[in-house]
Each structure stands twice: as structure tokens, then as C-alpha cells.
Amino acid sequence: MATQTDDSQIIEIDVRTDEMLVNMGPQHPSTHGVLRLVLRTDGEIVSEVTPHIGYLHRCAEKIGENLTPRQWVPYTDRMDYLAGMNMNLGWALVVEKLLDYDLPEKARHLRVIIAELGRIASHLVGMGTFGLDLGSFSPFLYAFREREKILDLFEEVCGARLTYSYLTVGGATSDLPGGWLQKCEAFLEQFEPVIAEYHALLTTNSIFVKRTAGIGTMSPELAIAYGCSGPVLRGSGIDQDLRRDGEERYTEMYDGYAFEVIVEKDGHYPRDHDYPAVPREAELGDSWHRFYVRMLEVMQAIDLIRQGIDRYSTSSGSWGEPIKLNQRLPAGEAYLETEAPRGQMGFYLVSDGSAIPWRVRARSSCFCNLSVAEVLCRNILIADIPAIVGSLDVVMGEIDR
């Protein structure tokens, strides 16, 4: 830097800045839970981000090796606590795989309805808190207003609003109450037009677009290399969804359902004429696209729920009464992944022939999705950290199991 004295003599001064280590979290509103990010900064520029996890660790997997499979169902609720129904489903399916149990048709449709309602509720939280991270408060209120109506439906079927333990081995703990399907249809009719308001508040908002478009761009190769899944993977243009591409025991749950994987192909998303256009500033794989995929999946889930209601209403037989597992489990092992709202959620179960599993493990989608933050957050502004981490939509209960 050059300065000039009164006698017009120019003096050269060498100005240097020192790097700083800044702790973001673990009690920071933009880290979505007890996540600690250590930022290496030079002024406003972040050169390195190191995630530190473990603040919510509860030994859930070890507890699963000391309980029967049905007793462990409530612990799955507390992994991704914003999508408890989807966590219940994953564990129930892997136990049923070990038992070689075939689910009744009516129970299959019941699970589709409940799982897709859970997907909508989860994405609503992701949308609302993402706006909150970037300084927009109204979308948060809009999202929770509609989410409360889904929780009302969940409360009616199982009595709980956050940790449900409803989908269990064999089907569900109880059948859907009388009149519940009509209430669900009424909610969908009311909810579908409201989505246009979300697009106006965030998706097409010029300030939101500037904060997210072209920020944290992740190439398809990088997404695959880090094991990303769910909307984070599809936001980079990878056409993969376990509801279509997963194991048969899971995909047969959606057998006969019409749906398209939400991913950009040739510059367009499925049924793109129904949705806002992709802004010119956006790049495939950026924070905006990861958000947009979730918004489109909300519309997709509405279609799937309606199909599920029609099929459930015309199905005969059992709704899937829980299997009593007080006796011994078959000796062997089973692993199965489901398409949870945040990506591939896998459960691994090993039995030595006793009533209690010998090994229980969970594969977290958020763990892999968060790991790529170290690469995405290099050489960016501090203000862009919340946009990138928020677009990954992590839940620490699933990572710190």
C-alpha cells in the first residue's frame, strides 16, 4: 500500500493479514443443530472448513444390540427426527428382510402414504430453515403452518407429533382411523396451491437467487466421490432414486406408482412447465438446485400420496399388524437402504439366532452429504457458509447416532 507524506514523498508500506480460526457452532442457528465448523479465514475469505461432529452422539447402534428389534423402533425416530416415519420404515424393512416376511398389499400402500407425508414435512422444514439462514423469516412461518397440519394427521394415527414409532415390523402399530383418508385428501387440496407462494417467497426471489445461484457448485463426479445421495446428489444432475433403483424389497412398495425422478435432464426438470423456470444465474449442482429439487419433490410426493390413497381404499386384507418378536430371530444378516428425505438411509442387522440382534448399524445419508462441505466451502465468503450448509439440509441426530 502506498501513502504520501506532506512533502510529497511516497512511502511503500507492506500490509499483511493473518489467518484466523473461527468457530461456527456448535450453538449457531445456521449449523442446523449441534454442528461445529472450524473456519480458516483470511479476512472475509474462507480457505478451509473442518466439520466437527459428535456433540449429539447417543450410542444408538450399541443400544440396538441390547434390545429386541421392536424395542429399538423408538430409537430410529431420534435419528432423523424431522423424518421419523421414514426412519421407522427403513428399520422395519430390514427386519422383515431378515425374517423373509412379505408385507400385505394394503400395508404397502399405507406405508407409501405415511412415508411421503413424512417427506413433505421434512422438506418443509428444510425450505423454511434455509430461508431463515439467509435472512428471510416469512418462509419459515409459512412452512411450519402447513407442517403442523401434517403433524395433526400423524397425531391422529399414532398419538405423537415428532417421534412416532408407527411404522413397525409387519406393517404399522394400527390401521388408519376412520375418516383419516378424507382429511388427508382435504389437506392435499388445500396445500397444493400454497406451494406457489413458496416459489414466490424463495425460489424466484431475486435476493435468494443471488445468495444461492452459483454458490457451492458440486460436480456430478464430486457428488459420487463423496457418496452423496438424495436431493444433494440429484441437485448435481445424477439420476438416482432408491424408490426406483433400490432393492426389490423396497421398490416393490412403489410398484405400480407413476412418478419421475426429480433431476435435471437436458436443462429441464420433469414437468418443468408446472414450475418456475431455472434462473440464468444458476449452475447445475449449486445451492439453488439442491433447494429446487426438494421443492419439486414436495409436488411429487403429493401425487404419490393421492395414488396411495386410491390403492389403499380399494385394497383388501390386513393393514399389516405388528409381528411379535419375543422369540428368536433367524440367524443371518440383512442390509437395506431406503430413499429417506435426505438420501440413502441404510440399516444393517446381524443375528446370531437369539431374540436380540448381535450387530446393529446405520448408514447415514447426512454424514456423507456433510463431508463434501469441506470441498464446497473453499475460497468463498464467510456469508456464503450458511447458504452451502443449509442447502445440504443435514440433521445431526442422524449423523451422531
User: What is the 8-class DSSP label of residue 278?
Assistant: P
Domain of residue 203, CATH code: 1.10.645.10
**What pLDDT digit, counting tens, does each position of 67-104 carry?**
999 999 999 999 999 999 999 999 999 999 999 999 99
Report pLDDT digits (tens) over 25-53: 787 777 777 889 998 988 888 888 999 99
Confidence of residue 266 (pLDDT cuts 50, 70, 90): confident
Per-residue pLDDT, 5: 52
Give the mean model confidence (pLDDT) for residues 128-143: 90
pLDDT (0 to 100) of residue 24: 85
Task: List the strands of the sheet with 343-351, edge to edge.
Answer: 332-340, 343-351, 359-363
Q: Does the structure show a pLDDT above 60 at 1?
A: no
**Whether residue 197 has pLDDT greater than 60:** yes
Give me the chain's average pLDDT, please: 90
Q: What is the pLDDT of residue 135?
A: 86
Rounded Cα distance, 228 and 238, in Å: 10
In the chain, % of residues over pLDDT 70 = 95
The answer to the question of residue 5 being in a domain is no
pLDDT at 15 over 80: no
CB 389, CB 374: distance < 8 Å: no
Q: How far apart are CA 130 and CA 394, in angstroms?
A: 11
The predicted structure's pLDDT at residue 271: 76
Residue 7 lies in a domain: no
Residue 381 placed within a domain: yes
Distance CA 203, CA 55 (A): 33
Task: Give domain status of residue 30, yes or no.
Answer: no
More confident residue, 383 or 2: 383
Residue 16 inside a domain? The answer is: no
Answer yes or no: are the C-beta atoms of 318 and 104 closer than 8 Å.
yes
- Residue-level pLDDT at 273: 66
**215-263: per-residue pLDDT in tens?**
999 999 999 999 999 999 999 999 999 999 989 999 999 999 999 999 9
Domain extent at residue 74: 55-399
With a cut of 70, say whether residue 3 has pLDDT above it: no
Q: Is pLDDT of 359 > 80? A: yes
Residue 48 located in a structural domain? no
What whole-number percentage of the chain has pLDDT above 90? 71
Amino acid 163: pLDDT: 92
Give yes or no for residue 272 having a pLDDT over 70. no
Does residue 177 have a cis bond before it (omega within 30 degrees)?
Answer: no
Torsional class of 267: left (φ above 0), alpha (ψ -120 to 50), beta (otherwise): left
Per-residue pLDDT reduced to its tens digit, 292-345: 999 999 999 999 999 999 999 988 888 888 887 667 899 999 999 999 999 999
| pLDDT at 353 exceeding the cut of 70 | yes
Instruction: Residue 343: count other Cβ atoms within 10 Å of its Cβ.
Output: 27
Cα dihedral: 186, 188, 191, 193 (round 10): -100
Nearest to 121 by CA among 70, 160, 168: 160
Q: Is position 92 within any domain?
A: yes
**3-7, 103-107, 197-201, 365-369: the lowest-pLDDT one:** 3-7
Say what the pLDDT of residue 109 is: 95
pTM over 0.75: yes
- Among residues 327, 329, 391, which one has the least CA distance to residue 97? 329
Q: Which cell numbers in the block locate residue 182?
A: 378424507
**198-217 tens-digit pLDDT:** 999 999 999 999 999 999 99
- The structural domain count of the chain equals 1
14 within a domain of the structure (yes/no): no
